[in-house]
């Protein structure tokens, strides 16, 4: 009985329902991670795989940063848990009897997003360092298509982190009076700029996820012998 009470206080109702979307998604995730472990690839000809920047050990931090991201939270609560519905009409007919549990029980982890953001910001410079390494890999400066893709990935991740809601709160969201705060006008200005980025947070979140996967597949394609790595230095 005690164990049942403990589990009820920890596990949200969303995770206990016979929801085939959630269960199949978990199967996809576990088998996808299994395939990544079956075929590890950390580096190829000076290109460091984004999953290994700086080390594969930081992937859980990046994963938790994504899992607790406001953009993804909207998507998985609506489309995987169907809870709350995105509109008043209950299309799938399975969630009208439930209450919205929100950030309770296990989903309290969503409140830790700001700390995953701080950890994520610490990881960001390594993506630019990998871009630099890819340029000088051969001993002299060589610009290859893969280097540009690494840069694109780094910029996409930077924009995603820079448009984060937790960063918005950190910059100016927790201040009631800019005129009374230290460097208030500068903070207000920064807050306004960040708010513009924040409006596109969902786009940056999905775009950065797709660029990571694309760059990983690109490097695997190179390792498989595909002739897709253009040497742009020769074209310039």
Partner 1 sequence: MKQYIPPKYRYPLFFIGLMTMIITAIAYKFVFIPEVIIEVVVIVGFVLFVSSFTF
Q: Which residues would be at the binding site for partner 1 (CB under 8 A)?
A: 21, 24-25, 27-28, 31-32, 34-35, 38-39
Pick between residue 82 and residue 153 the one whose CB is nearest to partner 1. 82
- Distances from the Cα of 222 to the Cα of 18, 75, 225, angstroms: 42, 33, 5
Pick between residue 10 and residue 27 the one whose CB is nearest to partner 1. 27
Position of tokens 């310039």?
A: 236
Task: Return the DSSP state at 40.
Answer: -
Pick between residue 22 and residue 148 the one whose CB is nearest to partner 1. 22
Assess contact for 127 and 53: CB atoms under 8 A. Answer: yes
Pick between residue 35 and residue 96 the one whose CB is nearest to partner 1. 35
State the Cα angle at 128 between 206 and 215, rounded to 5°: 45
Task: Please state the closest distance from residue 65 (CB atom) to partner 1, in A.
Answer: 22
CA distance 45 to 227: 13
CA distance 119 to 108: 18
68: left (phi over 0), alpha (psi -120 to 50) or beta: alpha
Task: Please state the closest distance from residue 38 (CB atom) to partner 1, in A.
Answer: 5
Task: Please state the closest distance from residue 91 (CB atom) to partner 1, in A.
Answer: 8
Task: Please state the closest distance from residue 92 (CB atom) to partner 1, in A.
Answer: 9
Pick between residue 1 and residue 35 the one whose CB is nearest to partner 1. 35
Task: Please state the closest distance from residue 28 (CB atom) to partner 1, in A.
Answer: 6
Q: Is the alpha carbon torsion for 32, 38, 39, 41 positive or negative?
A: positive
């Amino acid at each position: 009985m005690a164990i049942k009470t403990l589990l009820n206080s920890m596990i949200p109702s969303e995770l206990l329902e016979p929801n085939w979307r959630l269960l199949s998604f978990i199967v996809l995730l576990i088998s996808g991670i299994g395939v990544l472990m079956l075929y590890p690839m950390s580096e190829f000809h000076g290109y460091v795989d984004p999953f290994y920047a700086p080390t594969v050990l930081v992937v859980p931090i990046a994963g938790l940063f994504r899992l607790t991201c406001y953009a993804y939270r909207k998507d998985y609560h609506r489309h995987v848990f169907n809870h709350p519905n995105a509109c008043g009409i209950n299309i799938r007919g399975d969630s009208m009897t439930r209450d919205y549990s929100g950030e309770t029980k296990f989903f309290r982890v969503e409140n830790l997003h700001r700390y995953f953001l701080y950890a994520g910001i610490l990881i960001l410079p390594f993506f630019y360092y990998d871009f630099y390494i890819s340029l000088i890999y051969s001993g002299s400066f060589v610009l290859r298509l893969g280097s540009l893709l690494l840069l694109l990935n780094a910029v996409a991740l930077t924009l995603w982190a820079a448009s984060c809601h937790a960063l918005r709160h950190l910059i100016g969201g927790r201040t009631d009076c800019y005129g009374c705060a230290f460097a208030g006008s500068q903070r207000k200005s920064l807050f306004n700029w960040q708010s513009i980025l924040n409006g596109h947070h969902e786009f940056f979140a999905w775009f950065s996820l797709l660029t990571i996967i694309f760059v990983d597949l690109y490097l695997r394609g190179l390792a498989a012998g595909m002739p897709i790595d253009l040497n742009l230095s020769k074209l310039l």
